[in-house]
Chains A and B, each alone.
Chain A
Amino acid sequence: AQTVTQSQPEMSVQEAETVTLSCTYDTSESDYYLFWYKQPPSRQMILVIRQEAYKQQNATENRFSVNFQKAAKSFSLKISDSQLGDAAMYFCAYRTSTGNQFYFGTGTSLTVIP
């Protein structure tokens, strides 16, 4: 069974600094997709970044980048130049290449300190 683990329930970062959120997953599949979603206090979940397992290059979206280590089944999110608007719950998620089901981790609550 696929599981997604986020071992950091809470993280904090100074504004303008860099923070890394951790995620590990367990799967026997070789082809799959990984995601980071952001859920602000307003509750509407937003896709932050997406990584295809067959791609070795780490995905980047502006200030957000990932460190994808396939062998270690690790998928961390780096937020550079943190902004107050980055404060939210961050969820790591997994989907097989053929399935429709997304598996989410338990989330990391990020606080940005002014």
Chain B
Amino acid sequence: ETGVTQSPTHLIKTRGQQVTLRCSSQSGHNTVSWYQQALGQGPQFIFQYYREEENGRGNFPPRFSGLQFPNYSSELNVNALELDDSALYLCASSLGDSRHRDEQFFGPGTRLTVL
């Protein structure tokens, strides 16, 4: 059973640029959630994808967007990067049925630095 993987591990961008982060869900999982974790803070929910459709969104502006592919891997795209976007971005996969919805398996994260 393959765990959740994320790429890249680290990324440095400048203000105004765009970035794409990638997540491969655990084998058999059809749901991916993305979180932003600023330094010294808990993770903040960005959005969730279930079977390729957005299935809930936190308080993040539209320049944060995502995709989920038929193999359930996912991308997080951030446009017009701002300094405050510097954070650890975590993805978590789970089975979307009600019985397993809480069993999120987290990836190691992507550390994004915006200069």
Contact = CB atoms under 8 A, between A and B. Distances in A.
Contacts of B58: 101
A101 B45 contact: yes
A45 B90 contact: yes
Interface residues on A, range: 20 to 34
A26 to B, nearest CB: 15
Interface stretch (B17-25, B68-76, B77-85, B100-108): B100-108
B108 A100 contact: no
Contact of B109 (A33, A43, A91, A106): A43
A41 B102 CA distance: 23
B44 interface: yes
B33 interface: yes
B4 to A, nearest CB: 8
Contacts of B40: 106-107
Given A45-B92, A100-B33, A106 B102 contact: no
Interface of A: 4, 6, 33, 35, 42-47, 50, 91, 93, 95, 99-107
Interface of B: 33, 35, 40-45, 48, 50, 55-56, 58, 88, 90, 92, 101-104, 106-109
Q: Which 9 A-B pairs have the closest CB atoms?
A: A104-B42, A100-B56, A45-B106, A101-B45, A100-B48, A104-B43, A44-B108, A43-B109, A106-B42
